Amino acid sequence: MAVTPQQPVQPHQTPQPQQRIALEQLDIKSLSKDKIRDLFRQGKLPTADQIVEEILMRAVQEGANDIHVEPIEGEMQIRFGHEGTLRRVVSLPSDMNDSVISVLKSRATMNQFEKKKPQEGRYSAMYGAESLDFRVNVIPVLSGERCLVRLLRKTASISRIEDLGFGRENLKRFRTLLRFPRGLLLVTGPSGSGKTTTVYAAVNYVASPEKCVITVEDPVEYRLPYASQVHLPPDKSFNFIDALRAILRQNPNIIMVGEIRDAETGIVAGEAALTGNLVLSTMLADDAIGAIHRLLNLGVPAYWLASTVVGIVYQLLIRKICPNCKEEYQLSPEELQMVGAPMESSDLKLFRGRGCPNCMGTGYKGRVAISEIVTISPALRDMIFQKESILAMREEASNCGFQAIRQDAVRKALSGITTLNEITRVLG
Ligand SMILES: [Zn+2]
């Protein structure tokens, strides 16, 4: 289904086309500070604005997820985060730190003169045909300020649930959960694990002209067909709770709540589920069963949770092997043990990426979700009510066919999608 990206709340900033600058010539590893000062005196040093623009442009072109700007021992290190790993781009002289951070702050409409407190802001910009949201976060550290810029791409379409990377069993479970007419369905994981993508795909799957779908988000990232979307105002004139209470009076069938961050949001989302709605939301958690205990610890009453939650998805993103340099290899005894194969199965082969220009030598290209899904059975419901231990709940879930995320990951290694090294990196 074609979906157009939501217009940003902030005005678009279209960067002026500029002469590309060679950041490398400013790298303190290849050029002395004195030389840079000479360039400055001759008026040949690029401005902080040009430097920032060059960094942003490169990050966009390389498909980076975030940019780390950090002052360390006499330098300002710039690194790009790409699919969960960091790569050094350039180390600029430390005296540029202030002006570069200042530019980023002003773009994200922060107070440039406040240097003693953490700040955050965001803005949108177009690069070529691509529209991006930049979330900027600044924190004072010992030698200046550290800045993280997250790049959020507004792709033109919402994923279908079939394309999220769920294995066959998990996809079946997920579809079953989405057929519930009422209840709370949570998509959990750490930040940056693709939860929002999954929830959007789910809402898009269940939405239809016969159903009233209302979402409350901060901010709205995609425009959904058949849905009324409430975005929380930047001036905080109303919050999640106010919005949810108002939405309940609009007679909805399906409600999407951006994120459950505290007990109050959890309780109101539960209330919405109890009054006959299917409520979809995301939450931070370390595993599917752990999300139940997290909600209990936040202060959501056990009886409330037991009577509303129908299922919990927990997911992480894992890097896929680059198709360009994929090769087969023989497993070591430790690796055989890791995939649970008998020691004598010496003919079992797995895959890895050799590294090529297509994947910048990493051997990986793109990411896919690995997941575990727990469906709340009547027995589990009772255990939530009794606040039983995570261990006991996990055992009960396993009896009903629940498979831990590691099994999904190993299956993806066996079918040549990812590597055992990558599983160890992500799951330990
Ligand atoms: Zn490659």
- Dump pLDDT digits (tens) for 112-168: 999 999 999 989 898 888 888 899 999 999 888 999 999 988 765 788 999 999 999
Same domain, 358 and 340: yes
User: Which residue in the block uniquely carries the two structure tokens 């105002």?
Assistant: 233
pLDDT, mean over the chain: 88
Query: Does 6 fall in a domain?
Result: no
CA 363 / ligand 1 centre spacing (Å) = 5
Inform me whether the pLDDT recorded for 339 exceeds 80.
Answer: no
C-alpha angle with apex 199: 255 to 136, nearest 5 degrees?
A: 105
d(CA 144, CA 87): 21
Q: Cα(190) to centroid of ligand 1, in Å?
A: 27
Q: Do residue 344 and residue 401 come from a single domain?
A: yes
For every residue of 93-113, DSSP letters joined together read EGGGHHHHHHHHHHHTT--TT
Spatial contact of 248 and 270, defined as CB atoms under 8 Å apart: no
If 0-12 CB within 10 Å is exposed, 13-18 middle and 19+ buried, where does residue 25 land?
Answer: middle
The domain tally of the chain equals 2
Pick from 405, 417, 406: nearest CA to 365: 417
- Per-residue pLDDT of 359-386, as tens digits, reads 888 999 989 999 999 999 999 999 999 9
Indicate whether 311 and 217 sit together in one domain: yes
Reported as a pLDDT band with limits 50, 70 and 90, residue 7 is very low
Whether 7 maps to a domain, the answer reads no
Please say which residue of 130, 153, 176 terminates a domain: 153
Q: How far is the CA of 49 from the centre of ligand 1 (A)?
A: 34
pLDDT at 395 over 90: yes
What pLDDT digit, counting tens, does each position of 229-283 carry?
Answer: 998 887 788 988 899 999 999 999 999 998 998 888 888 898 899 888 999 999 9
Q: Residue 218 and residue 214: Cα distance in Å, rounded?
A: 14
How far does the centroid of ligand 1 lie from the alpha carbon of residue 86, in Å?
A: 18
Pairwise CA distance, residues 95 & 58, whole Å: 22
- Tell me whether residue 276 is in a domain: yes
Q: Which domain holds residue 406?
A: 161-427
Please say whether the dihedral angle defined by the alpha carbons of residues 388, 391, 392 and 394, taken in this order, is positive or negative.
positive
Report field, pTM of the whole predicted structure over 0.85: no
Kindly state whether residues 116 and 190 are assigned to the same domain: no
Residue 421 alpha carbon to ligand 1 centre in Å: 16
**78-94 as b/e: b if 16+ CB within 10 A:** bbbbbbbeeeebbbbbb
CATH number of the domain bearing residue 64: 3.30.450.90
| Residue 373 counted as domain residue | yes
Classify residue 413: in a domain, yes or no.
Answer: yes
Q: What is the CA radius of gyration of the chain?
A: 24
Altogether, the residues listed in the chain come to a count of 428
pLDDT digits (tens, 9 = 90+) for 185-238: 999 999 889 898 999 999 999 988 899 999 998 877 778 878 899 988 877 889
Kindly give the residue spans of alpha helices, DSSP state H, lying in 179-278: 195-206, 240-248, 263-274
**352 CA to centre of ligand 1 in angstroms:** 10
Quick one: 24 and 57 in the same domain?
yes
Compute the C-alpha angle 182/246/299, nearest 5°: 65
Looking only at the bridges linking them, the beta strands covering 213-217 and 227-231 are: parallel
Indicate the pLDDT class of residue 73, thresholds 50, 70 and 90.
confident
* pLDDT reading at 396 higher than 60: yes
Please tell me the predicted confidence (pLDDT) of residue 240. 87
User: Ligand 1 mean position to 51 CA, how many Å?
Assistant: 30
SS3 content of the chain, % helix, strand, coil (to 5): 35, 30, 35
CA 25 – CA 333 distance, rounded (Å): 47
Among 126, 153, 180, which residue terminates a domain?
Answer: 153
How many Cβ atoms from other residues are within 10 Å of residue 43's Cβ? 6
Determine, yes or no, domain membership for 2. no
Per DSSP bridges, beta strands 278-283 and 183-188 are parallel
Residue at which a domain ends, from 153, 179, 200: 153
Residue 324 within a domain? yes
Could you report the per-residue pLDDT of 90-112, keeping only the tens digit for each? 998 888 889 999 999 999 999 99
pLDDT number for residue 5 = 45
Residues 339 and 367 in one domain: yes
Distance 367 CA to ligand 1 centre (A): 14
Residue 365 Cα to ligand 1 midpoint, Å, equals 7
pLDDT, residue 158, reads 80
Is residue 13 one of the residues assigned to a domain?
no
Distance in Å, CA 361 to ligand 1 centroid: 6
* CATH number of residue 167's parent domain: 3.40.50.300
Rounded (10°) CA dihedral 185, 190, 191, 195? -30
Q: Are residues 356 and 220 in the same domain?
A: yes
Same domain, 375 and 322: yes
Distance 321 CA to ligand 1 centre (A): 8
Percent of the chain residues past pLDDT 70, beyond the cut: 94
